[in-house]
Structures are given as structure tokens and as C-alpha cells.
Amino acid sequence: MLPILSLIVLIPILFSAVTFLTKTREQARISALVGTLITLVLTLYMYFSFDSTTAAMQFEEMANWIPSLGISYHLGVDGVSMPLILLNAIVIPLLIIYTWDDVRSAPNRFYGLILAMQGAVIGVFVALDFFIFYIFWELTLVPLFFMVNIWGGSNKKHAAIKFFIYTHVASLVMLLGIFALYFNAWSITGSPNMDMAHLISQFQFFESGILRDAIFLALLFGFIVKLPVVPFHSWLPDAYSEAPTAGSVLFILLKIGGYGLFRVMLPMLPFTATPSLMITIMGALGAVSILYGAFLALAQKDLKRMIAYSSISHMGYVTLGCAGLVSLSVSGAMFQQFSHGLIMSIMFMSCGVIQTATGTRIINELGGLAQKMPKLTVIMVLGFMASLGLPGLTGFIAEFLVLTFSFINVPTYVIIALLAIVITAAYHLWALQRAMFGTFNEKLGEIVDISSYQTLSMGIIALLVLYFGLNPSPVLDMMITNSEKIVSLMAVMGV
């Protein structure tokens, strides 16, 4: 059987190395595009062969690696990871097309880092051994750090270091949680084993309730900082706004924080000493992030920082949906990750085009761009409408499921989150009206619409936002299958 999971991880990494060795911009971008297209073809083959009716792992690959430490080469996908792999496989080649004519400085390194990032992120999604999982988790830091530090804006060094410190410290805390899980399970079974499912299954047998809660919180901290949620969010606006457009999109595709909640935290939740307290923590963090992130976005004058803060608000739905502990609320949280990746890609790409064309991202300095950039306006309006939750687009499906079904178990936090809906609509519509409509600001000079490459890449993503908004079943069905399995465990444990 074809080791398809190994291939979709290794191919981007191998092509990353090839791209680094290229000599011209033409060679670099062709090498990068070929590598990502091969990954896309393999991912589509896997997606169309995927059985959405089962929550079991599929396309599994397993081999002993370091038996003395219980470390194995164990890969697999299910309805939690398959949509996120698909998201990356689709958006990354479109991102390369989007930047086709833009990259002038060190294109071999620029495209090489994009491919390295893709391989590392997919590695996180397919890893079923904690050792491999953590290796790929840490590897995702490297391309993003250099992407911001080399091609970022005027405050790039500060943003890159702040991002690295925040997320690396969180990763170290998570690593302590993994070690505690590993050594305590070893003491129970008498043999080492780093398999994720095995360690999670042994978690319930730890005698100390304080230890179980401490491990849970250590792992949760690692995931929510990467997500991020308030109050661990301050690295995100700087990193997103200082990164080049491609870097901002790569940050958006970094869905490993939310993925960790579904893969690790929810299966462990029933076995904590105080599950109701842990649910309260997740629900409160989600609701506060939704509301506070919306207020922060409303206060921004910089279009890109507004989009960055809106991302914090939208990621709050992931944590809130998890706290809802209903199959459809958890499915909505999963779908929010997929939807958010598509929507924010459009929004950051639109912002990048505007900054390149006008030389500014300050909303009050723009105005009337729809007269000069009609193609961008159509795509950008669709992205903004999806972000504010307009019915018929992907953002509505995700937020509707989270808010409606989380209300069953955590109504207080849903009510808090509902307060953000009006604010979310306000800052989206205000930014659109000021930047794209009204009287054209003649000080901006001559402006041309988006290029054919940008139209192609952004247009395809926009169509996907519309398609999955009208027909979410192709990815939502597999999410529901897995969320039902997760929630059934909660019911058995009486949570």
C-alpha cells in the first residue's frame, strides 16, 4: 500500500530543500508550485478515498522506531485531521500563485520556507505518536520566525522574537505535560509507550487528581497559546501585521492549537479530577476571546491589525464549541477552523494587495477603491461577509453550530459571545465602507486592479467559501462522525 501520509509530509520538505538550492526566481517558484501541486493531488486522492462514516483512523502507517523508549513511527488520519490537511493542500499552492510576481528578495528562501511550513503542519496533523507530534509542532516555529524576521515590516524583529518566545514557552509547558503523562503511564503499565491513544487511555488511571488536572492544564496551555485565546494573544497582532502577506496566510493555516483541543484535550477531559472546572475554563476563555477580540478589532485603524484581532475573536468559537460538549457544537468548532482558514486567507490577501497598490493600510487614508479595483472589491466583500457570518457562507455555518448547540451546556458563555455579533458586523462594515466605497482618495494616485495570478488564487478560495457555505457536508460529515465519538465518551463518564 502506498505510504500516502509519509509522502504528503516528505514531498513538501524535499521540495523545500530543492527550492532552497535554486538559483533564479523562476526556478524557485516553479519548484515550489510543483511540490505543492503533487501534495494537493495526493491529498485529494486521500480525501476522495476517505470513509466519512467511521471515526477510526485511516491510511495508518506504523513501524517501531526507538523501542527502548516506546517511540514508534505512527501516522494516521480521521475526520478531525483530514479537513485541515485538505485546507493546507488547497491554499498553499494558491498562495504561491498569489505571490508569483511579487517576490523579489531571496525567492528561493521565501518559497522554501513556505514548503517547509506545509510539511511541518501536515506532520502535526498526521502524527499519532507524541514524540513525532512534538517534533513537527516545534518545526512549525522555524519557517514562521524567519518569514517574519526577513520579509516582515518595520517592526519585524520585535514581532518575530515575541512570537517565538510566547509560543516556544507554551510548547515547553506542553512538553512537561507530555513527559508527566508518559512517565506516569510507564509506571502503571511497566513499559514505555509514546503512542497518543495509549497515553490518553492511561490518563484515567493516575491516582492523583491534582496530577491529572496539572497535566491537563499544562497541555491546554500549550494549545491555547498557539490558538491563541485571550489573555495569551498579544503575540498574534504583531506577528500577523508585521509578516508579509504570505506569512500572514501561513499563520492562519497554523491550526495546530485548535487541532490539539480535539485530538488530545477533549478525549482527556472526562478523566480529569474536576471536569466541570476544566469546561468552565475553556468556556470562559472562548467567550472572552470572542467578545474582547471583537472590541479590539473595532478599535483598530490599521486594516491588517483589524483583521488580526478579528482572528482572535473567531478562534474563540473553537474553544467555546469544545466547551459546549455537544456533538454539533464540537463539529462547529472543527468547521470553524476549516472555514477560518479560507476566509482569513482572502482577507489577508486583500489587505496585501491594497498595501502594495496604495502604500498604506490605514483605513481612513483609503476610500473609493472599488472604483479602481472592481475585481478585488467583489472578492474582498465576499470574504468580509463570510467573516461577519452572513448566511450562505462558511462563517455562518460554523458560528451557528457553535452558538446554537453550546447553549445547551454553557448558556452563560454563549450569551456573552452573542454580544460580539453586532460589534463584529460593525467593524467589518465600517472598514469596507471607508476603504472600498465612497469618494476615491486622489492622494493615492494611479491604482490598478489585482493581477491575473491574484485573481485566480483569491477567486478560487472565494468560490470555496461560497461552496462550503452552501454545501458543508463534504467536510462537515466526517467532523460530525468524529465529534459523536468524542461526545459519546463524555456521556459514558457522566460529564
Mean pLDDT for the stretch of residues 377-381: 96
Run of H or E residues at 61: strand 58-66
Model confidence at 332, in pLDDT bands (50, 70, 90)?
very high
**pLDDT in the model for residue 66:** 94
- Please check the confidence at residue 493 and state whether its pLDDT lies above 80: no
| Spatial separation of the C-alpha atoms in residues 279 and 328, rounded to whole Å | 16
What are the phi and psi torsion angles at 139 (to 5°)?
-65, -25
Strand partners, 72: 64
| Measured CA distances, 167 to 162, 174, 399 (Å) | 9, 10, 27
Distance CA 235, CA 164 (A): 9
pLDDT of residue 2: 85
Mean pLDDT for the stretch of residues 345-370: 93
Angle between helix axes 141-151 and 245-253 (nearest 10 degrees) is: 160
Distance, in Å, from the CA atom of 218 to the CA atom of 173, rounded to the nearest integer, reads 6
Alpha-helical runs (H) found in 99-129: 107-126
Quick: pLDDT tens for 110-146. 999 999 999 999 999 999 999 999 999 999 999 999 9
Nearest to 52 by CA among 472, 443, 489: 472
Task: For residue 168, give every residue at least 6 positions away whose Cβ sits within 8 Å of its Cβ, in sequence order, or none.
Answer: 138, 141
Is residue 495 over pLDDT 80?
Answer: no
User: What is the structure's pLDDT at 492?
Assistant: 52
Whole-number percent of the chain with pLDDT over 90: 92
Residue 295: pLDDT above 80? yes
Q: At residue 6, does pLDDT exceed 60?
A: yes
What's this model's pTM, rounded to 2 decimal places?
0.95
pLDDT of residue 488: 86
CB of 358 within 8 A of CB of 350? no
pLDDT of 490 > 80? The answer is no
The C-alpha R_g of the chain, in whole angstroms, comes to: 22
* Contact by Cβ (8 Å): 292, 309: no
pLDDT in tens, 37-66: 999 999 999 999 999 999 999 999 999 999
